[in-house]
Chain A
Amino acid sequence: QLQLQESGPGLVKPSETLSLTCSVSGGSIRSDSYYWGWIRQPPGKGLESIGNIYYSGSTYYTPSLKSRVTMTVDTSKNQFSLTLTSVTAADTAAYYCAGINYYSYGMDVWGPGTTVTVSS
């Protein structure tokens, strides 16, 4: 059964770079059935898509974050990663990684999420 797990620092200073990794287990990141995404949720607010990545490395970023976001995939480690530069308090959120099923176009597998706080 496919499982995802986010990892990374829980505290980042303003103006610095947030880096998170999502480890895929129970299946291959090179799956023909899934592509991968990052979603975030500020405290008490709704869900926001950050971007999608295919195992080929193709990416799609949400326009409001595009200038600060980079997503990569490491097939040797079965992981994909998120980098967000020049963070501010507005980037404080729970960050989730998810698998998007090619056949249903639904995010049917999620990591438990990791909370990132931007503060000095």
Chain B
Amino acid sequence: EIVLTQSPGTLSLSPGERATLSCRASPSVSSNYLAWYQQKFGQAPRLLIYGASSRATGIPDRFSGSVSETDFTLTITRLEPEDFAVYYCQQCEISPGTFGQGTRVEIK
């Protein structure tokens, strides 16, 4: 089983600041199979990034994904009020896939 470990657990930031979220895979996972999701309270998750770095349809360009070996990063360059939410990474290289435990981005 591939375990995804996200850090930090909570990120306290102000609107306009930059958010950097990490996801480490053990064992490693191909970047082709790594996605990021945003979930707001009471809603279903929304796909943000697939293939580690490709933005899904309709996702603003302030969201970006990158990878360095087993470490994946989601960056939000300038936080908008609607970006405060929980973010999950997910791998689907090994079916049925696994999620990280999530990072909460909260208003400071």
Given contacts A105-B35, A105-B92, contact A49 B51 (CB under 8 A): no
User: Is A47 in the interface zone, CB < 8 Å from B?
Assistant: yes
Q: Which of A100, A101, A107 has the most CB of B within 10 A?
A: A107
* List of B residues within 8 angstroms of A49 by Cβ: 90, 96-99
The stretch from B10-18, B20-28, B42-50, B69-77 touching chain A is B42-50
Q: Mark B83-108, 1 if CB is under 8 A from A, else 0.
A: 00000101010011111111000000
Q: Is the CB of A46 within 8 A of B56?
A: no
* List of A residues within 8 angstroms of B1 by Cβ: 63
With CB as the reference atom, state the residue of chain B lying closest to A48. B99
Q: Is the CB of A50 within 8 A of B96?
A: yes
Q: How far is the CA of A100 from the CA of B97 in the complex (A)?
A: 11
User: Is A16 in the interface zone, CB < 8 Å from B?
Assistant: no
* List of A residues within 8 angstroms of B35 by Cβ: 104-107
The stretch from A7-15, A19-27, A73-81, A110-118 touching chain B is A110-118
Number of residues on chain B facing chain A (CB within 8 A): 28
Q: Is the CB of B50 within 8 A of A110?
A: no
Q: Is the CB of B95 within 8 A of A52?
A: yes
Q: Is the CB of B37 within 8 A of A107?
A: yes
Q: Is the CB of B51 within 8 A of A105?
A: yes
Q: Is the CB of B50 within 8 A of A106?
A: yes
Given contacts A47-B88, A106-B50, A106-B56, contact A37 B96 (CB under 8 A): yes
Q: How far is the CA of A82 from the CA of B90 in the complex (A)?
A: 21
Q: Is the CB of A60 within 8 A of B102?
A: no
Of B32, B33, B99, the contact of A47 (CB 8 Å cutoff): B99
B contact set with A: CB distance below 8 Å: 1, 32-33, 35, 37, 39, 43-47, 49-51, 54, 56-57, 88, 90, 92, 95-102
A contact set with B: CB distance below 8 Å: 37, 39, 46-52, 60-63, 96, 100-101, 104-108, 110-113
